[in-house]
Chains A and B, each alone.
Chain A
Amino acid sequence: MSTELVYVVAASAVFGAGVYGLIVAVHVMRKLLALNVMSSAVFVAMLSVAGTAEEGPDPVAQALVLTGIVIAVAATAFALALLTRLVRETGRTSLQGGDDDGE
């Protein structure tokens, strides 16, 4: 089993845990955490790609991880802001229930 494969398997396991969490969780905050777990798994996969070259780490893959982290942070911040508004407007932290608000 090559080193790369170990990382890929590890990343897949973490990614899968994230997907499971996203589906099972009810509280939106937990869903956001699950999404962050998924992005960490993606970064692990990217770093494993970066590290396997013989002539040292691959700068492109590292640049991807950096950009990916920036996007993940921004998206999480936006989602948290939306969640705050959602809680203020509806008083609920979950998305369950009907959508019909009788306009």
Chain B
Amino acid sequence: MASDALAMLVFAPLIAALAVILAPTRATLPLAAVGIALPLPALWLATVAVLRGETIVVALAGFAPPLGIAWRADGFALTLAWLTFVVVAFISWHARSSFAVETDVGRRFWPLWLVLVASLYALFLSADLFNLYVTLELVTLAGVAMIAIGGKPAAMRAAMRYLLLGLMASLFYLLATALLYGQAGTLDLYQVGERMGDGALTVTALALMVTGLLVKSAIVPLHVWLPAAHGKAPGPVSAVLSALVVKVALYILIRLWFWVAAPLDVAAAALALGVLGAAAIVYGSIAAIAQTRLKMLVAYSTVAQLGYVMLLFPLASSAAFRAVTFHMLAHGVAKAAMFLAAANLLAALGSDRLQRLVGADQRFPVNVLAFALAGVSIMGLPPSGGFVAKWMLLEAAWQAEGWGWVAIVSLGSLLAAVYVFRVVALAYAQPRPAVSVRRPGTSPRGRFHATSLAALGLAVLAILLGIASAPVLTLIDLGLPPALVQP
């Protein structure tokens, strides 16, 4: 039952994507709605099974690995699948208006969107190294296509840069997969570790894989492609890229590190990853503070927030795993809200230059509120999801007596406060009479337009995540890597 449900998770959006291409335009939205909604009961069934203590394993079409494709759902995979569902649902609601099906761009958008959703679910469920490669490639290609979809030169340049680096990173990963298969004789994510040994080829392979994944997850200094790609993409696309697409590479990296590489002594490399994470937090935040455009500011904030995930590697404890997974959720929801709000402001103001935001709270109160609420979570103020994540991370660093990490996490929140407040202060500033051209309510889209409500819904969720964190943490605890559970 639960294993059939998993198939629904991937095949519902995938079949919907194909159907949208073939069916007439008026069927697009109903089909897309089905493809996006059907994973909900599937996720529910799978979660109930996992909460009962099961780990769901599926061999697709009855073909066992190594030639067949295996899926495996544990707490970690399901946590991120839930994040995908929630974020995708809200962004789809936004895209209903921002990528209306009657337009050319809208017709191209929906099939890509559904393929991306299917690939994301498939990636989280994949139980072998090669499937992870295939799904990672699918996610990247769908993402790149959606960045370029508007046809603006800046967006297309960003898309091409992202594509070239993304393909290079995938090939690093693929070469490593070949080497690991040669050493271990299996591709199974949960068996490679014990069989691969610790020879020079194994270590090379792991180093290649980590490098490729660091490029894909835009960790400083390999982040160069991210700000333009996320900043220049259309709003809903920016939101999904920052909330989900960069996280998938980190998901694979965590799987690789704590499941595959668990038998190896990786302390030195873990420290190096932690230092990169710290650099990402500091550099990304300072770069965000220096930006003059709203969407670029939000994109650099993603560079910074991804750094927190890297602190998991040196801390390497179940407390840190819990904190970082929760951070991935909290950041996903809050950043999607932020990008949607930023995109709405950009659409309404015609520019996302920060100076243009003066007085925006009078004209676009819902969007400014959504941005501010999401900002609360990004800064890590109570009672938001970001607060819970950062608090747990501080606690984990404290327990491990990693005072440097404690300092970095605190500094990161402080810097985040600077860039968030910069935007919020401008938006709530009193406009000089000359600046205020339009009156409240005269914006092209009404105050409570669906696009604004989608942003606000996600932002409220980012706060609620902090208040109702217990059930989420229960699910995360069921996904703890075995290597971290043993004392």
Contact = CB atoms under 8 A, between A and B. Distances in A.
A74 B134 CA distance: 12
Given A49-B181, A63-B67, A75-B167, A82 B156 contact: yes
Contacts of A42: 171, 174-175, 178
Interface stretch (B158-166, B365-373, B401-409): B158-166
Interface residues of A, number: 43
Interface in B141-193: 141, 144-145, 148, 151-154, 156-161, 163-164, 167-168, 171, 174-175, 177-179, 181-182, 187
Nearest to B205: A45
Interface of B is mostly: helix
Contacts of A61: 178, 181
B201 interface: yes
A67 B163 CA distance: 19
A54 interface: no
Nearest to A38: B171
B171 A39 contact: yes
Interface string A36-57: 0011011001101100100000
Interface string B60-99: 0000001100000000000000000000000000000000
Contacts of A95: 157, 160-161, 164
B158 to A, nearest CB: 7
Contacts of A82: 144-145, 148, 156, 159-160, 163
Nearest to B158: A99
Contacts, number: 107
B474 interface: no
Nearest to B228: A99
B159 A46 contact: no
A77 to B, nearest CB: 10
Contacts of A86: 153, 156-157, 160
Interface string A73-98: 01100110011011001100001000
Contacts of A68: 174
A8 B202 CA distance: 13
B232 interface: yes
A45 B154 contact: no
Contact of B168 (A19, A67, A99): A19
Contacts of A63: 67
Interface string B30-69: 0000000000000000000000000000000000001100
B442 interface: no
B395 interface: no
Contacts of B163: 78-79, 82
Contacts of B153: 86, 89-90, 101
A67 B131 CA distance: 10
Interface in B205-256: 228, 232
Nearest to A46: B178
B137 interface: yes
A48 B168 contact: no
Contacts of A79: 160, 163-164, 167
B181 A64 contact: yes
A2 to B, nearest CB: 12
B130 interface: yes
A45 B134 CA distance: 18
B351 interface: yes
A99 B181 contact: no
Contacts of A67: 130, 134
A39 B178 CA distance: 12
Contacts of B137: 71, 75
B141 A78 contact: yes
Given A28-B164, A60-B187, A101-B152, A45 B178 contact: yes
A68 B171 CA distance: 10
Max count, chain B CB within 10 A of own CB: residue among A8, A61, A86, A103: A103
A60 B67 contact: yes
B232 A99 contact: yes
B156 to A, nearest CB: 5
B57 to A, nearest CB: 19
Contacts of B351: 103
B160 to A, nearest CB: 6
Nearest to B164: A31
B151 A85 contact: yes
18 contacts: A11-B175, A15-B175, A28-B160, A31-B164, A42-B178, A45-B182, A59-B67, A61-B178, A78-B141, A78-B144, A82-B144, A82-B156, A82-B160, A86-B156, A99-B157, A99-B232, A103-B152, A103-B154
- 4 closest cross-chain pairs (CB), A and B: A49-B182, A46-B178, A45-B178, A101-B154
Given A35-B171, A45-B179, A74-B141, 10 more contacts: A18-B171, A28-B164, A35-B164, A60-B66, A61-B178, A61-B181, A82-B145, A82-B163, A95-B157, A99-B157
